[in-house]
Structure 1
Amino acid sequence: MSLNKDLILLFLSFAGLVTFSQETQGLKDSMRTQDLDEVIVTATRTVRQLSSVPLPVTLISKKQIDRTGVTRLNEILNEQTGIVMTPDATIGGGEGVQIQGIASDYVLILIDGVPVVGRSSGNLDLSRFAVGNIKQIEVVKGPSSSLFGSEALGGVINIITEKPSSENITGQFGHRAATFNNQNSNVSVSQRRDKFGYSFFADRLSTDGYDLADGDNGQTVNPFFNYTFNGRLFFDATEKLKIFASGRYFSQEFDVMPSTSEERDANVHLRIDHNPSSKTNWQYELYYTSYITDEKILDPVNNDLLLANDFNQQLFRPEIRYNHSYSENNTMTLGGGYNFETLDRSLFAEQVTFDSQYLFVQYDFKPLENLNIIAGARFDNHSEYNSQLSPKLSARYNFNESFALKVSVGSGFKAPDFRQLYLDFTNAAGGGYSVFGKEVEAAGIQRLLDTDEIANVVVEQSTLGARLNAESSIGYNFGFSYKKGKISSDINLFRNDFDNLIDTQILAAKTNGQNVFGYINRESVYTQGVELDIKYRLLENLDFGAGYQLLYAFDKDKEEALEAGTVFGRNPETLETIRLARSDYFGLENRSRHTINFKMFYEIPKWDANANLRVVYRSRFGLTDRNGNDLLDILDNSFVAGYALVNFAFGKTFYKNYQLQFGANNLLDFKGQNPLAAQDEEVLVNPGTQFFTRLNIKF
Structure 2
Amino acid sequence: MILNKNYFLIIFLLAGQVFLRSQERMRTDSIPTENLEEVVVTATRTLRQLSSLPLPVTLISRRQLQQTGVIRLDEILDEQTGILMTPDATIGGGEGVQIQGISSDYIMVLIDGVPVVGRSSGNLDLSRLAIGNIQQVEIVKGPSSSLFGSEALGGVINIITEKPDSEDISGQVSHRSATFNNQNTSVNLNQRRGKLGYSLFADRLSTDGYDLAPLQDGQTINPFYNYTINGRVFLEASEKWDIFASARYFFQEFDVSPDSSEETDTNLHLRVTQNPGTKSNLQYEVYFTRYTTNEQIEDPVNSDTLIENDFDQRLLRPEIRYNYTFGPGNTLSLGAGYNFETLDRSLFREQVSFESQYLFAQYDFKPAEKLNIIAGARFDHHSEYNAQLSPKLSVRYDINPALAVKGSIGSGFKAPDFRQLYLDFSNVAGGGYSVFGKEVESEGIERLRENDELASLQVDASELGDPLDAESSVGYNLGITYKKGGLSAEINLFRNDFRNLIDTRILATKNNGQNVFGYINRERVFTQGLETDLKVRLLDNLELSAGYQLLFAYDKDRLEDIENGEVFARDPQTLETVRLDRSGYFGLENRSRHAFNVKLFGEIPKWKANANLRAVYRGRFGITDRNGNGLLDVLDDSFVQGYTLVNLSFGKRLFEHYSVQIGANNVFNFQGNNPLAAQDGEVLINPGTEIFAKINFQF
TM range (shorter): over 0.9
Residues 88 and 325 from structure 1, CA distance in 2 versus in 1: closer, same or farther, beyond 3 angstroms?
Answer: farther
- Measured against aligned partners, the alpha-carbon deviations of 1:282-310 in whole angstroms (never above 9, x if no partner) come to 00000000000000111233322111000
Q: CA deviation at 1:38?
A: 1.6
For the residues of structure 1 that align with 2:34 and 2:567, how far apart are their CA atoms? 57
What's the secondary structure of 1:277's corresponding residue?
Answer: coil
For the residues of structure 2 that align with 1:122 and 1:656, how far apart are their CA atoms? 46
What's the secondary structure of 1:276's corresponding residue?
Answer: coil
* Correspondence 1:205 to 2:209: no
Residues 54 and 498 from structure 1, CA distance in 2 versus in 1: closer, same or farther, beyond 3 angstroms?
Answer: same
For the residues of structure 2 that align with 1:481 and 1:306, how far apart are their CA atoms? 57
Determine if contact 2:89/2:685 at 8 Å carries over to the other structure.
no
Match of 1:552 in 2: 552
Q: CA deviation at 1:92?
A: 5.4
Q: CA deviation at 1:352?
A: 0.2
For the residues of structure 1 that align with 2:342 and 2:179, how far apart are their CA atoms? 40
Match of 1:364 in 2: 364
For the residues of structure 1 that align with 2:36 and 2:393, how far apart are their CA atoms? 28
Match of 1:127 in 2: 127
Equivalent runs, 1:289-438 vs 2, <5 Å: 289-438=289-438
Q: CA deviation at 1:34?
A: 3.3
- Measured against aligned partners, the alpha-carbon deviations of 1:137-158 in whole angstroms (never above 9, x if no partner) come to 0000000111100110000000
- Measured against aligned partners, the alpha-carbon deviations of 1:550-585 in whole angstroms (never above 9, x if no partner) come to 000000000000000011111122322111111100
What's the secondary structure of 1:270's corresponding residue?
Answer: strand
What's the secondary structure of 2:275's corresponding residue?
Answer: strand
Equivalent runs, 1:238-637 vs 2, <5 Å: 238-637=238-637
- Measured against aligned partners, the alpha-carbon deviations of 1:608-641 in whole angstroms (never above 9, x if no partner) come to 0000000000000000000000100000000000
Letter in 1 for 2:319: E
For the residues of structure 2 that align with 1:382 and 1:33, how far apart are their CA atoms? 48
For the residues of structure 1 that align with 2:87 and 2:191, how far apart are their CA atoms? 41
* Correspondence 1:68 to 2:68: yes
* Correspondence 1:57 to 2:74: no
Q: CA deviation at 1:88?
A: 7.4
Letter in 2 for 1:586: F
For the residues of structure 1 that align with 2:124 and 2:162, how far apart are their CA atoms? 23
- Measured against aligned partners, the alpha-carbon deviations of 1:214-237 in whole angstroms (never above 9, x if no partner) come to 222211111000000000001111
Determine if contact 1:677/1:683 at 8 Å carries over to the other structure.
yes
Q: CA deviation at 1:503?
A: 0.2
For the residues of structure 2 that align with 1:61 and 1:305, how far apart are their CA atoms? 47
Match of 1:40 in 2: 40
Letter in 2 for 1:201: F
For the residues of structure 2 that align with 1:217 and 1:149, how far apart are their CA atoms? 44
Match of 2:100 in 1: 100
State which drifts further: 85-94 or 459-468: 85-94
Letter in 1 for 2:325: S
For the residues of structure 1 that align with 2:91 and 2:388, how far apart are their CA atoms? 36
Letter in 1 for 2:698: K
What's the secondary structure of 1:561's corresponding residue?
Answer: helix
Determine if contact 1:658/1:695 at 8 Å carries over to the other structure.
yes
Match of 2:696 in 1: 696
Match of 2:10 in 1: none
What's the secondary structure of 2:51's corresponding residue?
Answer: helix
For the residues of structure 2 that align with 1:196 and 1:428, how far apart are their CA atoms? 46
- Measured against aligned partners, the alpha-carbon deviations of 1:618-673 in whole angstroms (never above 9, x if no partner) come to 00000000000010000000000000000000000011210100000000110110
Equivalent runs, 1:650-689 vs 2, <5 Å: 650-689=650-689
For the residues of structure 1 that align with 2:183 and 2:341, how far apart are their CA atoms? 36
Determine if contact 1:90/1:433 at 8 Å carries over to the other structure.
no
For the residues of structure 1 that align with 2:667 and 2:378, how far apart are their CA atoms? 46
Match of 1:159 in 2: 159
For the residues of structure 1 that align with 2:33 and 2:567, how far apart are their CA atoms? 60
Determine if contact 1:170/1:190 at 8 Å carries over to the other structure.
yes
Residues 260 and 32 from structure 1, CA distance in 2 versus in 1: closer, same or farther, beyond 3 angstroms?
Answer: closer
Match of 1:12 in 2: none
Letter in 2 for 1:357: Q
* Correspondence 1:191 to 2:219: no
For the residues of structure 1 that align with 2:552 and 2:42, how far apart are their CA atoms? 27
Q: CA deviation at 1:90?
A: 3.8
Q: CA deviation at 1:33?
A: 4.6
Letter in 1 for 2:243: I
Residues 358 and 492 from structure 1, CA distance in 2 versus in 1: closer, same or farther, beyond 3 angstroms?
Answer: same
For the residues of structure 2 that align with 1:98 and 1:386, how far apart are their CA atoms? 27
Letter in 2 for 1:506: I
Match of 1:23 in 2: none
For the residues of structure 1 that align with 2:241 and 2:235, how far apart are their CA atoms? 9
Determine if contact 1:457/1:507 at 8 Å carries over to the other structure.
yes
For the residues of structure 2 that align with 1:655 and 1:50, how far apart are their CA atoms? 36
For the residues of structure 2 that align with 1:557 and 1:596, how far apart are their CA atoms? 30
Match of 1:649 in 2: 649
For the residues of structure 1 that align with 2:32 and 2:630, how far apart are their CA atoms? 56
Residues 91 and 499 from structure 1, CA distance in 2 versus in 1: closer, same or farther, beyond 3 angstroms?
Answer: closer
Q: CA deviation at 1:485?
A: 1.4
For the residues of structure 2 that align with 1:550 and 1:634, how far apart are their CA atoms? 18
Q: CA deviation at 1:434?
A: 0.2
Residues 357 and 416 from structure 1, CA distance in 2 versus in 1: closer, same or farther, beyond 3 angstroms?
Answer: same
| Structure 1 gap segments, 5+ residues each | 1-30
For the residues of structure 2 that align with 1:626 and 1:606, how far apart are their CA atoms? 58
For the residues of structure 2 that align with 1:34 and 1:412, how far apart are their CA atoms? 35
What's the secondary structure of 1:341's corresponding residue?
Answer: strand
- Measured against aligned partners, the alpha-carbon deviations of 1:125-181 in whole angstroms (never above 9, x if no partner) come to 000000000000000000011110011000000000000111011111000000000
For the residues of structure 2 that align with 1:661 and 1:330, how far apart are their CA atoms? 46
- Measured against aligned partners, the alpha-carbon deviations of 1:9-49 in whole angstroms (never above 9, x if no partner) come to xxxxxxxxxxxxxxxxxxxxxx9853343210000001011
For the residues of structure 2 that align with 1:456 and 1:151, how far apart are their CA atoms? 34
For the residues of structure 2 that align with 1:340 and 1:225, how far apart are their CA atoms? 31
- Measured against aligned partners, the alpha-carbon deviations of 1:334-356 in whole angstroms (never above 9, x if no partner) come to 00000000000001111101000
What's the secondary structure of 2:563's corresponding residue?
Answer: helix
What's the secondary structure of 2:251's corresponding residue?
Answer: strand
| Identical amino acids, percent of aligned pairs | 70
Match of 2:144 in 1: 144
State which drifts further: 661-670 or 214-223: 214-223
Match of 1:9 in 2: none
Q: CA deviation at 1:89?
A: 7.6
What's the secondary structure of 1:65's corresponding residue?
Answer: helix
Letter in 1 for 2:391: P
What's the secondary structure of 1:557's corresponding residue?
Answer: helix
- Measured against aligned partners, the alpha-carbon deviations of 1:61-119 in whole angstroms (never above 9, x if no partner) come to 00000000000000000000000001378465000000000000000000000001000
For the residues of structure 2 that align with 1:55 and 1:88, how far apart are their CA atoms? 32
Residues 629 and 520 from structure 1, CA distance in 2 versus in 1: closer, same or farther, beyond 3 angstroms?
Answer: same
Determine if contact 2:92/2:514 at 8 Å carries over to the other structure.
no
Match of 2:87 in 1: 87
Match of 1:24 in 2: none
For the residues of structure 1 that align with 2:300 and 2:362, how far apart are their CA atoms? 57
Match of 1:109 in 2: 109
What's the secondary structure of 2:562's corresponding residue?
Answer: helix
Q: CA deviation at 1:323?
A: 0.1
For the residues of structure 1 that align with 2:480 and 2:566, how far apart are their CA atoms? 41
Match of 1:219 in 2: 219
For the residues of structure 1 that align with 2:168 and 2:275, how far apart are their CA atoms? 28
For the residues of structure 2 that align with 1:88 and 1:599, how far apart are their CA atoms? 25
Determine if contact 2:472/2:500 at 8 Å carries over to the other structure.
yes
